[in-house]
A and B are shown apart, each in its own frame.
Chain A
């Protein structure tokens, strides 16, 4: 997608003027992809005033671009480091310059170690599978429950609906720590330590997801449409799946993205509730390896921590780059709702 900001493409502004209500373009799902992209570009041009009008001193744009460039370097330095050092042997990680490659090229050897149980602390590929399983089940569950409940809160006013919604929002104020430790204590009592469901089920409870879905239903599923479907004799379940859900897709995708990432990156809950390494997700496994590598003399784990970290972040970065328009739209929801 091209960046047309500040270039003042007149054709695009004309299109923008001809199309009112640009901000709700996420809701219109029936449109062609190209038309949507054009509208989005037009929207961006429309809301950006040509730079020349600001009356800036010459060189300001260059200066600001340089500052942004410097911050981009700061952001990319650790990523570059982990990519480069995933190709190094243990000795070279410590002895050679951190930001350039060194011989021998050890990437494939390091990578193959991810399939082995080195030193008996666990196998990376198993942790990867566990993480994917927890993230898919927990993320899908959280999204489904949030979509149901968000729709219920947004479009029905049953007895206690307001109180229940405020209670859900209040749960946002309670720190994760103060919720996770009690969960661990309860599991210890209920013999749920090391249980798959002990990890997945609490991950499905997402007050943020419910809040976002409620806001999204409010702006994208018209009450009249639901009433019309009711007059046609459709049942509530059918209306939800056939009428409301298709309109909720962008919000649904955003909540799915947020929930999957939340489970993928979760550290505190699995750290507490799993004490056998065959159950670990990536975060806990990598934490264990780092600790062992430093403090138990298992220095051969260092290259595995490095390549393991790289393999952990690649799927998520890829997911974010592919689904950009959903996190952008989703975060917008979070800010306009205030």
Chain B
């Protein structure tokens, strides 16, 4: 078909070079709306605005100020605690139902799957507003329910119960999505492997733990990873809850709330830029470390 190796490879090269035009529109947007803002944030984080003297170069002082701020770190510690509880609980529930529906050991599996997925279509703002009404200390129906079960005087918005309340809301929002991903992963486990195990009289729980779980491990790793990145940025739910109960959610409740309030309410944009860079680096570090760790153990291809 072609005259020779040289001719063929030159043809392919010329053809492949044209491929960049498919990528260019995205690249332009990527540079303008991701790279440039990030660069500008780093630049502006190196300056400080003063009432007298205008904006002056201040080197790393915004960074040291953020790193020494107990407000920033208390938020970081809080979202880490939150992630350590919320993610395992949600993934256990999601894996449980994904397995049940995959095995077909509950009736109406398809209907349940669709119902469980519905909260994914609900914006976090609306989800948080609905739950705020439900949990509201004076009128909320959930408080009446708690009273009826003998827990009188329950206040879901009290400082000690606000974090569990947020966890419940986020579990409500995301379990269905995680369940559907695990379900599709389980569906791709080869049938004959499971059949062979059944013929060997392997008990069902053993099939799940020893065969299914290891085979969907990559999907679980990916979910842990995505959920961790999401959890560390917790913002909408505590902000909306703070509208309903101002006392329990401080301005620096999570790192993102701290950044938001530093940039908008306190108008300290240079400081907020430094905070955004630090938070970005912390999250990238955590996710890269977990990727490398998994790769070393040969779990992440």
Contact = CB atoms under 8 A, between A and B. Distances in A.
Given A77-B134, A155-B19, A181-B41, A334 B181 contact: yes
Contacts of A265: 123-125
The size bracket of the interface on B is 35 or more
B258 to A, nearest CB: 10
A261 B17 CA distance: 34
Contacts of A82: 130
Contacts of B30: 168, 171, 205
Interface of B: 15-23, 25-27, 29-30, 32-34, 36-38, 40-41, 44, 93, 97, 100-112, 114-127, 129-134, 138-141, 144, 172, 175-177, 180-182, 184-185, 187-188, 191, 194-195, 198, 201, 203-204, 218-219, 221-222, 229, 232-233, 235-236, 239-240, 243-244, 246, 255-256, 259-260, 263-264, 269, 272-273, 276-277, 279-280, 283-284, 287-288, 300-301
Given A158-B16, A177-B233, A267-B125, A51 B34 contact: no
18 contacts: A3-B111, A75-B172, A79-B122, A82-B130, A149-B23, A158-B20, A181-B263, A182-B273, A188-B269, A189-B40, A205-B26, A271-B260, A283-B124, A286-B129, A287-B125, A313-B126, A335-B184, A336-B184
A75 B41 contact: no
Nearest to B1: A231
A51 B185 CA distance: 20
A294 interface: yes
Interface residues of A, number: 111
Given A173-B229, A181-B259, A317 B118 contact: yes
Given A168-B30, A175-B280, A268-B235, 16 more contacts: A64-B106, A68-B109, A82-B130, A93-B133, A98-B134, A152-B22, A153-B23, A173-B288, A181-B260, A181-B272, A185-B40, A290-B132, A306-B133, A321-B114, A331-B177, A335-B185
Q: Is the interface of B mostly helix, strand, loop or mixed?
A: helix
Contacts of B203: 55
B54 to A, nearest CB: 15
A181 B262 CA distance: 11
Contacts of A94: 138-139
Contacts of B182: 335
Nearest to B30: A205
A156 B22 contact: yes
Which secondary structure characterizes the binding site on chain A?
helix
A219 to B, nearest CB: 13
B27 to A, nearest CB: 7
Contacts of A312: 123, 126
B107 A264 contact: no
Contact of B180 (A146, A319, A328): A328
B280 A156 contact: no
A231 to B, nearest CB: 8
